[in-house]
Structure 1
Amino acid sequence: MPVLVITGTGTEIGKTVVTAAVAASALAAGRSVAVLKPAQTGVRPDERGDADEVTRLAGPVTARELARYPDPLAPATAARRSGLPPVRPHDVAEAAAKLATEHDLVLVEGAGGLLVRFDAEGGTLADAAALLGAPVLVVAPAGLGTLNATELTARELRARELELAGVVIGSWPTAPDLATRCNVTDLPEVAGAELLGAVPQGTGGLPPRDFRTRAPGWLAPRLWGTWDAEGFRRREGAAQDG
């Protein structure tokens, strides 16, 4: 898995923190890691972006952005409004492939969901993943409404013949409600893929040393962690009827 594309089912669901957790776990396992953010939106030139946040939390990773736009909008819209050149899928694929020659693992963190547009021609993160032949990890919220968005994302990946690596819950609450607990069982079923982790709510606020120590415990062995999906389901999931 030299390149792993990380997408979400929407915005503000913990994608950057999950990316940092994967990076930290891979680093702890002895891998060299690069993080590529194709399009950073809603951030001024002097502000820290998502790739910087991954570096702060995870440790010594190579961080790269391809473009930065000031408006907090979809990349294609933000590029158009700013008058700056858009990022295109082949730009993402070329940058990730180059980083993969120099690192054991390249994490490509998208903006929002899988089909958010990069350019006026409709290029998306899914197109970049296809050019790379890379698996896609889906970050999903824990609560009510997540099943529909996760299944739609999984269906789109299958329609494009892209590999769905699995699903990670981006922010697991300290007091999950019934829908959230049921989703532990239902998410992998609707996605047709394994649940590969659950990152506790608020972990982005941990001191970096603590974040790096704890990160492998939030992710399954496939993501260089120690998290046990079945144990989590028994402990946190809702009891099944019948």
Structure 2
Amino acid sequence: MKNKLQRIAKVMLYCFLLIALSCEKDDALMEQDVKMVEAKTVSINKVTGKAPPVLPCQDGDCNTDGGGGNPIPLRPVIITVSSTGTPVVYTPRGPVTGGISTGGNTSIGGNGGDGSTTSPADSPPPSCESFNFTAKKGANWQEALIKNISFKVVLLTPPNHIQITQIINYPQPISFGMPINFNKGNGDVTSGVAATVSARVLQLAMDETIAKFGKTEVSELTVKLYFQEQLIKEYRDYTNGGIVNFNSTSNLTATQYKTNPLSSGNCD
């Protein structure tokens, strides 16, 4: 009986030793697995520059009420709104002569409703070469006829204020007329001088229109009517009685509207 008990005790001791060795081996394997996972995560992070992925909930131990547990991964959200970037600055294009001071077009990218909208690259200034003034026989008057005058302005469309580039276009011939001699002792106004002055006044009216309506919620008709009024007024003031007619019945041959990259040029 004593020998039997001793054998049982040895068997139990042997089993206990086996169980202890097995647990130590499992712990070593677990530590080794953790180190391998950490090494792989660090390696992936160095390559991609991204945070390690969030592991899913284990054994249902996940709190989804926002108070704890594993964090819930969120997808990136892209929000598209109307442009609110670099502010637009209205600047003149450069000095001019003959008493005409013109403004300048500006770059796109400013906040809605804060002024001008188009750059010289988008709406270059009118060229004086567009104008071919011809003197009327027996009259102190010269006239030029130009077709397809146009410029661009960015407007806002209701109700979401989406920006659109509106082309203000006049396909019909528009006549520009001014006296040949102002009887002020300065001699005659040559066709070249008349062309230069006309181009710069046309540029002035365009710039004033863009400055007033750029990135505002108005109709194309409103812009066109304002531009026509400004051009007629400015031309009369700067040429001492000159006339612009948007419904001309002149028999002159209309020339094609031209532009210059930087300025209206000098056709004197």
The TM-score, its normalising length taken from structure 2, stands at 0.20
Q: Greater helix share, 1 or 2?
A: 1
Q: Which has the higher contact order (CA 8 A, sep 6+)?
A: 1
